Amino acid sequence: MSRRFWVYIEQEDGKVHPVSWELLGVARKLADQVGEDSIVEGILVGHNMEEAAQECLHYGAETVYVVDDPTFKNYLNKPYTVALTALVKKYAPEVFLVGATTLGRDLAGAVATSVGTGLTADTTHLAMGEIKEGTKKLLLATRPAFGGNVIATIVCRNHSPQMATVRPRVFNPSPRTEDAKGQIVREKMEITPDMINAEIVEFVTNAAATVKLEYADIIVSGGRGLGGAKGFELIKKLADELGGVVGSSRACVDAGWIKYDHQVGQTGKTVRPKLYIAAGISGAIQHKVGMQESDFILAINRDPHAPIFDVATMGIVGDLYEVIPALIKEIRARKEAQNG
Amino acid sequence: MFHALVSIKQVPDTTNIRIDPETNNLIRQGVPTILNPYDAHAVAAAVEWKRKLGGKVTIITMGPPAAVTSLRECIEMGADRAILISARQFAGADTWATSYVLTEVIKEIHSKDPVSLVFFGKQAIDGDTAQVGPGVAVRMDLPVVSYAVKIREVNLEEQYVIIERKTESRNEVIKTSLPTALTCEKDIAEIPYASLPDLVYALRYEPEVWNAESPITFDPAQLGLKGSPTTVFKTGTPEKHTAGEVFKVSEVGLDGVIKTALDKILGVEGMASMLGVQK
C-alpha cells in the first residue's frame, strides 16, 4: 500500500488559500524522503469544486479526493470534521498537513480529536526522519513555543495519521505546471441531520480583515518607538509611497494603537516580503520569528543595541521621525526623476 | 438558569522569558505567571452575560497548585466557583490528553449543574496551539464557535446562542443550540474592574481541588505524558541570523544614510520596477 501524504486544500467560495499550494510543495519533499511508494494527495471539501480540484492537479497533487455537496458550501466545523474523519478512516494516510490558518486550526484540532491522533500546531519546519537509528521514519514537526524563545520538535509515534498545522508563508509553494496528470476522485458522503449543529445566519464585512500581510511584497512595520497611535500615520505614508502594507509589533497592538490584523510575529502573522521595514521595533524574539525570512530587512531604531539589528540586512541608528520623512522625500525625488 | 463554564490556563508571561546564552535553557526563574490573556477576556464575557441573565460562572483549570492565584483572579472578576484540577498523573499532557481531562470534568459539572456555554481563550500564549477548545467540543459533541469576537444573543428560553466569529476574510454570525463551546478573541469583552464585594469574596475564596481519584476517576492510560499521542523529541533555540551593516545617522549624516538605504533596497530583485524607480 502506498504511503499517503495528505494535504487539506483550504478554500472559501471556491478560491483556494495559497497555503494549500505551499503544503503540496512540502508534502512532496516529505514523500520523497521516505521513498518511491509514497504519494501526495489533496483533500477538498466544498460545493462546486470542479475548478479547484483541477487546480490541485496543476499544483502537483497525484490524487484529489473531493467531497462536493451544498452542505459544505460554507465552512462549518462539524460537517467538515465528519467528512474528513470519514476520509481518514477510509484511506489511512500516514501524514496529514493542514494550513495553520483560522479555518485550518479550527478544523485540524477537531479532526485529530475525532480520529484519535496527535496534532502539532503551527509548525515552521517539517522533515521525515528516524528518532532512533533503524526505525521507521516519522514526521519531525518543528515549531516555536514560549513566544518563539524555544524551538521544539514534536513527534507522534504510535498514532496515525501524524498531523500538523503549518504556518502560511513558511514554505515555498509547489510550482504550477501546465499538465495535470493526477486523478480526481469524487467521494460520496451521506449527509445526516446530526452533522449539522450550527448555521451561519449572516456574514459581516470586517475592514481589518482586508489587511493581507502574509502575502504582501512590501511591509512597513511600526513598534513601540513610534510613541503613540499617531505614529502609524507616518508608517502608512511610507507604506503608501512604496505600495506596501502596514505591519506592527505586538507591543503596539497590546497598547491599542493598531488592530491585531496588522501584527507580525509569533502570535501574529508570519511574513516573507521582498522588503520589510521595521521602524521603532526593538526586535523581541516573538517579532523576529515572524519576519526574519524577508528578502531585505531595513531596521530603523534609535538604540544601536536593539536586537532587531541582528536580523536586519541594513540598519539605521537614528530617529525614525527624521529618517522616514527623508526616505519618503528621496523616493519621491527618484520617481520624479524617472518620470522625467 | 444561565451557567457559564470557563476553562482557563495559568501561563508564564512569554514577553518576559529569556534564554540563558550559555546553556540555551529557558530561564524560568523570576518569570511571572499570569492568567492567559485570552482566557481573561473569556472570563469577562462569561461574567458580563451572568450579569445580564442571572445565573453563575464556574472556572476550571488543569495545572499545578500555584494556579489557584489565577483562579482567584477570576473570582475577583466576578466568577462564582473555581476548580483546580491537579495531580502528578496529569503532568506532561499534550492537547489531546488535556482535552480528555477537561471533558471528563466538564461532563461531571454539567451532570449536576447543566452548563449553557463553555468558554475558552482562543489559545494559550505559551503553547499557542488553539487545539484544546475544539478538542473538548468534539469529545462532548458540542457545537464549537472558535475565534469568537462577540456574543450577540443568549436565548435561554429557546436554548440558542448567536455568536459573531472572525475568519481571515470576514466575520460570520453563527447560531447554535445550547450548550455550545466557544473560543474567544480579546474583542469578546473588556476586562472589568473588580467590584468591592467580588474582591472581598475572592479574598476568602478557596478553590476546590480535584485530583486524579476524586471526585471523579479517569482512565489512567489517557492521562499526562503517557496518554499523549505527541511527545517532544528535542528542543533548541531559534537559528541566529547574520546581521547586516548598521549606519548611524549621527556619523554618516541623514542624506548619506537615506541614499545608501534606497540604493540597497533597489538592488533587491524586482524592486525597482515595483516602485517605478530606476536602480
> Do the beta carbons of residue B45 and residue B8 sit within 8 Å?
no
Q: Please report, rounded to a whole number, the percentage of residues in chain B having pLDDT higher than 70.
A: 96
CB pairs under 8 A between A and B: 281
Could you tell me the CA-to-CA distances from A317 to A234, A280, B246, B260 in Å, in that order? 18, 10, 7, 13
CATH number of B3-222: 3.40.50.620
- What pLDDT, on a 0 to 100 scale, did the predictor assign at position A266? 86
- What pLDDT, on a 0 to 100 scale, did the predictor assign at position B25? 66
> Do the beta carbons of residue A299 and residue A282 sit within 8 Å?
no
Please say if the pLDDT value at position A138 is more than 90: yes
B99 inside 8 A of chain A by CB: yes
> Do the beta carbons of residue A134 and residue A58 sit within 8 Å?
no
What does DSSP say about strands A11-12 and A3-9: parallel, antiparallel, or unpaired?
unpaired
Tell me the C-alpha distance between A323 and A300, whole Å.
Answer: 8
The distance of B34 to chain A (nearest Cα, Å) reads: 13
Tell me the C-alpha distance between A19 and B56, whole Å.
Answer: 42
Contacts of A123 (CB under 8 A, 6+ apart): A100, A141, A142, A143, A154, A164, A165, A166, A167
Q: What is the pLDDT of residues A178-205, one digit of tens each?
A: 988 999 999 999 999 999 999 999 999 8
To the nearest 10 degrees (0 to 180), the angle between helices A102-115 and B132-140 is 50
Query: What average pLDDT score do residues A81-106 get?
Result: 97
B252 inside 8 A of chain A by CB: no
| Bond before A161 cis per omega within 30 degrees | yes
Q: Please report, rounded to a whole number, the percentage of residues in chain B having pLDDT higher than 90.
A: 80
> Do the beta carbons of residue A50 and residue A15 sit within 8 Å?
no
Q: Whose grid coordinates read 533503524?
A: A134
State whether residue A279 is helix, strand or coil: strand
Contacts of A211 (CB under 8 A, 6+ apart): A245, A246, A259, A261, A262
Domain ranges of chain B: 3-222, 241-279
Interface contact flag, B248 A147, Cβ < 8 Å:
no
Q: What is the pLDDT of residues B190-234, one digit of tens each?
A: 998 999 999 999 999 999 999 999 999 999 999 999 999 999 998
| Per-residue confidence band for B24, with pLDDT thresholds at 50, 70 and 90 | low
User: Could you tell me the three cell numbers for A304?
Assistant: 544601536
Mean confidence (pLDDT) of chain A: 94
Contacts of A255 (CB under 8 A, 6+ apart): A224, A229
| Per-residue confidence band for B274, with pLDDT thresholds at 50, 70 and 90 | confident
> Do the beta carbons of residue B154 and residue B66 sit within 8 Å?
no
Among A81, A147, A309, select the one facing B246 at the smallest CB separation: A309
| Per-residue confidence band for B272, with pLDDT thresholds at 50, 70 and 90 | confident
Query: What average pLDDT score do residues B127-155 get?
Result: 96
Mean confidence (pLDDT) of chain B: 93
CB contacts, 8 Å: A75 with chain B: 167
- 109-138 in B: which are within 8 Å (CB) of A? 125-135, 137-138
Higher pLDDT, A148 or B82: B82
Please say if the pLDDT value at position B185 is more than 90: yes
- What pLDDT, on a 0 to 100 scale, did the predictor assign at position B23? 66
Interface contact flag, A150 B19, Cβ < 8 Å:
yes
What does DSSP say about strands B171-177 and A198-204: parallel, antiparallel, or unpaired?
antiparallel
Query: What average pLDDT score do residues B152-161 get?
Result: 98
Q: What residue of A is the nearest CA neighbor of B249?
A: A318
Interface contact flag, A147 B125, Cβ < 8 Å:
yes
The distance of B205 to chain A (nearest Cα, Å) reads: 31
Alpha helices in A204-319 (DSSP H): 231-242, 250-254, 285-288
C-alpha B175: how far from chain center: 23
Please say if the pLDDT value at position B160 is more than 80: yes
* CATH 3.40.50.1220 boundaries in chain A: 208-339
Among A153, A202, A298, select the one facing B234 at the smallest CB separation: A153
Within a 10 A sphere around the Cβ of A130, how many other Cβ atoms?
Answer: 11
Among A200, A295, A331, select the one facing B277 at the smallest CB separation: A331
Fold of domain A208-339: Rossmann fold (3.40.50)
Among A310, A317, A322, select the one facing B243 at the smallest CB separation: A310
DSSP chain B: --EEEEEE-EEE-GGG-EE-TTT--EE-TTPPEEE-HHHHHHHHHHHHHHHHH--EEEEEEES-GGGHHHHHHHHHTT--EEEEE--GGGTT--HHHHHHHHHHHHHHHHHHS--SEEEEES--TTT----HHHHHHHHHT--EEEEEEEEEEEETTTTEEEEEEE-SS-EEEEEEESSEEEEE-GGG-PPPPPPHHHHHHHHH---EEE-SSSSS---GGGSTTTT-SEEEEEEE-PPPPPP-EEEEHHHH-HHHHHHHHHHHHHTSTTHHHHHT---
Q: What residue of A is the nearest CA neighbor of B230?
A: A156
CB contacts, 8 Å: A318 with chain B: 248-250, 254, 257
| Bond before B179 cis per omega within 30 degrees | yes
Query: What average pLDDT score do residues B178-193 get?
Result: 95
| Per-residue confidence band for B28, with pLDDT thresholds at 50, 70 and 90 | low
State whether residue A288 is helix, strand or coil: helix
Tell me the C-alpha distance between A55 and B272, whole Å.
Answer: 32
> Do the beta carbons of residue A146 and residue B15 sit within 8 Å?
no
Query: What average pLDDT score do residues A110-132 get?
Result: 95
Tell me the C-alpha distance between B243 and A248, whole Å.
Answer: 21
B196 inside 8 A of chain A by CB: no
Q: What residue of B is the nearest CA neighbor of A250?
A: B15
Please say if the pLDDT value at position A221 is more than 80: yes
Query: What average pLDDT score do residues A109-114 get?
Result: 97
| Per-residue confidence band for B97, with pLDDT thresholds at 50, 70 and 90 | very high
- What pLDDT, on a 0 to 100 scale, did the predictor assign at position A331? 93
Among B17, B135, B250, select the one facing A146 at the smallest CB separation: B17
User: Could you tell me the three cell numbers for A141?
Assistant: 514537526
Please say if the pLDDT value at position B241 is more than 80: no
Interface contact flag, A304 B246, Cβ < 8 Å:
yes
Higher pLDDT, B98 or B21: B98
Please say if the pLDDT value at position B238 is more than 90: no
Query: What average pLDDT score do residues A62-84 get?
Result: 97
Using CB atoms within 10 Å of the CB of residue A22, give its burial: 0 to 12 exposed, 13 to 18 middle, 19+ buried: buried
* CATH 3.40.50.620 boundaries in chain A: 3-195
Task: Give the CA angle between residues B196, B197, B202 to the nearest 5°.
Answer: 95
- 227-246 in B: which are within 8 Å (CB) of A? 228-238, 240-241, 243-246
Contacts of B257 (CB under 8 A, 6+ apart): A316, A318, A323, B247, B249
Query: What average pLDDT score do residues B42-61 get?
Result: 98
CB contacts, 8 Å: B137 with chain A: 77, 110
Q: Please report, rounded to a whole number, the percentage of residues in chain A having pLDDT higher than 70.
A: 99
Q: What is the pLDDT of residues B130-143, one digit of tens each?
A: 999 999 999 999 99
Interface contact flag, A110 B143, Cβ < 8 Å:
no
| Per-residue confidence band for B31, with pLDDT thresholds at 50, 70 and 90 | confident
DSSP A133-184: TTSPPEEEEEEEEGGGTEEEEEEE-SSSSEEEEE-TTSSPPPPP-S---SEE
> Do the beta carbons of residue B43 and residue B49 sit within 8 Å?
no
> Do the beta carbons of residue A312 and residue B243 sit within 8 Å?
yes
Higher pLDDT, A340 or B143: B143
- What pLDDT, on a 0 to 100 scale, did the predictor assign at position B279? 67
The verdict on pTM exceeding 0.80 is yes
User: Could you tell me the three cell numbers for B86?
Assistant: 491537579
- What pLDDT, on a 0 to 100 scale, did the predictor assign at position A1? 73
> Do the beta carbons of residue A225 and residue A282 sit within 8 Å?
yes
A75-89, B5-19, B42-56, B193-207, range with the lowest pLDDT: B5-19
A147-151, A222-226, A241-245, B193-197, range with the lowest pLDDT: A147-151
Interface contact flag, A199 B174, Cβ < 8 Å:
yes
Could you tell me the CA-to-CA distances from B36 to A64, A115, B7 in Å, in that order? 40, 28, 11
Interface contact flag, A153 B125, Cβ < 8 Å:
no
- What pLDDT, on a 0 to 100 scale, did the predictor assign at position B19? 67
Tell me which CATH homologous superfamily contains domain A3-195. HUPs (3.40.50.620)
Query: What average pLDDT score do residues A10-18 get?
Result: 95
B16 inside 8 A of chain A by CB: no
Q: Which of B149, B137, B119, B124 is CA-nearest to residue B42? A: B119
| Per-residue confidence band for B126, with pLDDT thresholds at 50, 70 and 90 | confident
Q: What residue of A is the nearest CA neighbor of B127?
A: A145
